[in-house]
Amino acid sequence: MPDEQESLFAAVDALLEEAAAQDPLPHPDERKRLREAAGLSQDQIAKALSVRRETVTSWETGRTAPRPPKRAAYARLLEGLAALHPVNGVNGVNGVNAVNPTPEPTAAPEPTAAPEPPTVPGPGPEPQPREEPPGETPPHPNTTNTPTTPTTRRATPLPATPRAATLPPPTPLEGNGPLLVLDGTDRAHAARGLLLDLPPKARTDLPTLIAWALGPDADLRSPRLHRNGKDGDPLLVLTAAATEALGLPDTLEDRRALRLPDHHPVLKQLAKSKWQLTRRGFGPWPRIYRPATAATGRQCVQLAILPWGALDPRAWGEHTADLPAPELAEILTTYATRVLTPRGSTAVTGLELMTALRPPTRAARNPATNTWESAAVPGSLTRPVDPAPPEAPDEHPVVAALYPRAHQRTPDQVLDEEAYDWFRDPELLTDAECARTHAVGIDVNMAFAAAANRLTVGLGPAVHTTSPRFDPKTPGCWLADLSSLTLDPRLPSPFTPHGKPPTGPAWYATPTLAYAQELGHTVHPTEAWLRPDHGSYLDAWYTRLRDAYMATMADLGITSALSETEFLTAMATAPQHPATATLKPVLSAIKSTVKGGIGKLRERPQGAGYRPGEPWPALERPTWRPDIRAAVISTARVNMHRKMNKLATAAGQYPVAVLSDCAVYLSDGPSPLDFLPRTPEGKPLPGGFRLGVSPGMVKHEGTQPLLWAVQMLDEGLNPARHIKGHDAAADGE
């Protein structure tokens, strides 16, 4: 009898916990206000609720939400504080508060009155190569919520495999994590070797699988990254066996559109069950949803179909898609917890990460009508804006209205801010340089991400002005003549991507013109398109990707605490690190997220049916911003030149080739330490290249014999492209 009674009590307690999960909580801003009004510290609340202080911080920023039984206790505390410290006499706990009525992250409906389908960043699976900064490589700090075990979970841990045993402890997850990998069996693989039982029909019926993925048994959750954002949608990764079991073809016949025909039986099943697809259709990354309502909230599931090429080998590694399901789940979950649950290619995910960290809108109360309305989030991109004519690509309607078709725009008609692709004339090699023995390449870590850090970019539309006074703090593009500024021909010009000096007036982004002023040139623009509404839109994006990159490198034993010699050794031995097999795809994807995200800011039209001068779907995004892309690339190129110029003036060291973020120098030895100059105290030259793991510092890219580099120059080839021993494009650079 006592055992039976305890069993009944346990069942009742489970029901009470489930009911407690519905306890309403005020908006995160109100939680912080109530604590501060009561004079309580986060440490005091953390101690009372038996959680970490960082967990309370996450609750007060909206990054995570408390789970039972902590949730009921936290709600009780806030309710008591609200009674003692109301906002203008209005209790803010048992309803949405006056600061911001965004619903709680757990299963609440969207704060909009009308249901909306999920937005998609664009129709194409991958940006065209010309849209991406060539040569840049690009994850988030660990979440602080305490992992919980839902009572409805049906999970069986797998025995640790030898490869998994070498991995560092994964970041804390909510529920069963953000994604599952299906291998065609009756179980699904989550991170940490977890197995979830599928319902009987879910293995072969896609509508059943989607409904289960959104339910409590799957418990797939990823918290919003901003209090005004949305919780992440579950991701189901289908291997070839799972694809076949669900009745999907092993390859897509339509290789141009990359989508399943509308008459396919699986699509008819989805339509019959009232599931809808986004405009992208059913391709390698289909997004399946039902319109949100007040009763159901958001219902959306993302699929990644591996045999259809969902994981691009240029971003994830050559054989990542063929790994066993448990290892693939570990890789993708590590990326998801540090960066974002994949929403498509790494380029799409990079763009979606910007929106997740800087949502365009929030809910705000209209004092005139006393109703909740959608309001812009300060510092975010809130609506699509037309580019300035010099910023627009050739296909854009703005350009079509100004020039006849096939017109080749000149530098005074188009902004040409691209990454470096330059090599020195072999006739300019000195006798001293020819006496050296090696060509050594150094590569800037996360160059384009570092360029985005603290970069002021335009938020609103451009305003045209004539004869402006140059202001280095105002983002935009300027028409100016920098041809009179003479520089050493052994260095590339900082004003052009090909490194040759400009020959007349040209359009420049603000960072380029500011650098000309830094070099002593008097800047007199004759015309400009400026954005008076501006801010550091990319700061949070940079911080999350930097932290993800640094955390992944630390997992490989490469940290900022290493000396230069230790760093070079650790980088050279990283391929033998026991965790490399799992972490290398994550690191590659992080780098591609930076490069692809910046490239997506100027996504070009895709598809054979497009006609120049017509708008294309990407233009409907607030994040279609070629001016921001130009500012980032301009800053990266200027940063590169500033360091090269420092080595030239302080130590007489000149590069022989530059490709994007890689510079090749001639050296008396095979290591970067053999040519990088030092101060009399033996420290790295201030303002020059520094070896290290942090973004903006450099690593060893490769070494070749001197004669190899000279032959490359004589043949008109860029040594920086081949310094690794193969074409850098083979690594997606």
Paired residues of 373 in beta bridges: 364
pLDDT on residue 123: 33
pLDDT on residue 75: 85
pLDDT on residue 217: 92
Spell out the domain ranges in the chain: 14-84, 141-338
Q: Write the DSSP string, 454-467.
A: T--EE-S--EEEES
Residue type, 552: T
CA dist., res. 108 & res. 23, Å (int): 12
Q: Is 476 helix (H, G, I), strand (E, B) or coil?
A: strand
Q: Judge contact between 470 and 517, C-beta under 8 A.
A: yes
CA atoms within 13 A on the CB side of 634: 28
Overall size of the chain counted in residues: 733
Dihedral over alpha carbons 90, 94, 99, 103 (to 10 degrees): -160
Tokens of 437: 């023995």
Q: Where are the alpha helices (DSSP H) in 529-611?
A: 539-555, 564-573, 580-600
Number of helices (H), then strands (E), belonging to the chain: the values are: 22, 21
The whole-number mean pLDDT for each consecutive block of 10 residues of the chain, a chain of 733 residues, reads 55 52 71 83 85 82 77 84 65 33 32 34 34 36 35 38 35 81 96 93 96 94 90 96 96 86 94 94 95 85 97 95 96 96 96 96 87 90 96 95 93 97 96 96 97 96 97 97 93 97 97 96 96 96 96 96 96 93 96 97 87 92 98 98 97 97 97 95 94 97 97 96 77 52
pLDDT on residue 113: 32
Q: Write the DSSP string, 217-267.
A: TT---B--SSTTS-PBPPEEEE-HHHHHHTT--SS-S-TTTTS--TT-HHH
Could you tell me the pTM of the whole model?
0.78
> 655: Cβ–Cβ under 8 A, 6 or more apart, which residues?
424, 491, 492, 644, 663, 664, 665
Q: Is 554 helix (H, G, I), strand (E, B) or coil?
A: helix
pLDDT on residue 406: 85
CA dist., res. 60 & res. 47, Å (int): 16
Q: How is the chain split among helix, strand and coil, in percent rounded to 5? A: 35, 15, 50
Domain boundaries 14-84, corresponding CATH code: 1.10.260
The CA R_g of the chain, rounded to the nearest whole Å, is: 28
CA atoms within 13 A on the CB side of 427: 1
Q: Judge contact between 340 and 353, C-beta under 8 A.
A: yes
Tokens of 379: 């510092």
CA dist., res. 169 & res. 160, Å (int): 13
Sign of CA dihedral 540, 545, 546, 551: positive
Other Cβ atoms within 10 Å of 575 Cβ, number? 10
Give the strand order in the sheet containing 527-530. 463-466, 527-530, 476-481, 505-509
Q: Which of 414, 419, 441, 439 lies closest to 429 in space, CA to CA?
A: 439
Q: Judge contact between 595 and 133, C-beta under 8 A.
A: yes
pLDDT on residue 11: 56
